[in-house]
Structure 1
Amino acid sequence: MAGYSVRNLIVIAVLLIAAAWQYFSGQVGQSPSQTKGTTSTLASNTPAKTLAQLRAATNDPNAKFWTTVQGTVIKNLKDDQEGDRHQKFLIQVAQDLSLLISHNIDLAQRVPVREGDNVKVQGEYVWNNRGGVIHWTHHDPKGRQTGGWIELNGKRYN
């Protein structure tokens, strides 16, 4: 290694270690809204058993079950206007897991969520190729099942 001083080699080694640390800690390429408060806070708010069930479901196209999760709103999406109208937004429930929330606003009040808000959601999980969707976040108008809800700042929307 002619031409390289020990000092230069140490600097290169430190830079490589720092880059590896950043890469393996999952921070590269994520915006502050994706990392802010999602690593340990969310994992402790959604039970480990539920997270394990959701992770397994992401690989199962037949997955469909009722669940309750807590997460941070990472993106508000455009309302779905076809058929029954649905408010849509994404929540991060763990560093490696985000879910689409599809909330029927013909049956329930719109939830005034903003990016960064923490929400608790109960509804039916259904597989999709992007991690899954939770719908039925509203009461059952026919009274056949309990129905779901979204909770924001202590207020429940169902």
Structure 2
Amino acid sequence: MAEQRSGVQVTGEGTVFKLLKDDNQGSRHQRFLIELPEGQTLLVAHNIDLAPRINKLNTGDTVAFHGVYEWNAHGGVIHWTHHDPAGRHEGGWLKHSGKTYE
């Protein structure tokens, strides 16, 4: 992520510091901002048409992730945090409070 590369499969963990409204244009995405231990911030865009929503997500919660990182000037975006129904792409996931969302 520090190399400003995009399209990279990554795994990590961060603390939720802001919950955003869902993106309902096209595939629906649950969106929230996390801060990594080193201080970098990321937007998590979790496709809730393909994976369950994280209910009871709050600021201050820890979320682990495995997905695709896309660099931007604000820190970046993590997406593909779900399975691939077509089986052509490595599946991703989110983990929150002991439950895996994929």
After TM superposition, is the score higher than 0.5?
yes
Determine the C-alpha separation between the residues in 2 that align with 1:104 and 1:74.
19
RMSD over equivalenced CA pairs, Å = 1.2
4+ runs deviating over 6 angstroms: none
Q: Residue 141 in 1 paired to residue 85 in 2?
A: yes
Which residue, out of 92, 106, 127, partners 2:71? Answer: 127
What SS does the aligned partner of 1:56 have?
coil
Determine the C-alpha separation between the residues in 1 that align with 2:60 and 2:96.
12
The aligned counterpart of 1:87 is 30
Paired residues in the alignment total 101
TM-score (norm 1): 0.61
> Greater relative contact order: 1 or 2 (C-alpha under 8 angstroms, separation 6 or more)?
2
* Gap runs ≥5 in structure 1: 1-53
**How far is 1:70 from its partner?**
0.5
Aligned 1:1-80 pairs, distance under 5 A: 54-57=1-4, 60=5, 63-80=6-23
TM-score (norm 2): 0.93
**How far is 1:73 from its partner?**
0.5
Determine the C-alpha separation between the residues in 2 that align with 1:93 and 1:115.
14
The aligned counterpart of 2:51 is 108
Q: Percent of aligned pairs with the same residue?
A: 50
* Gap runs ≥5 in structure 2: none
**How far is 1:95 from its partner?**
4.5
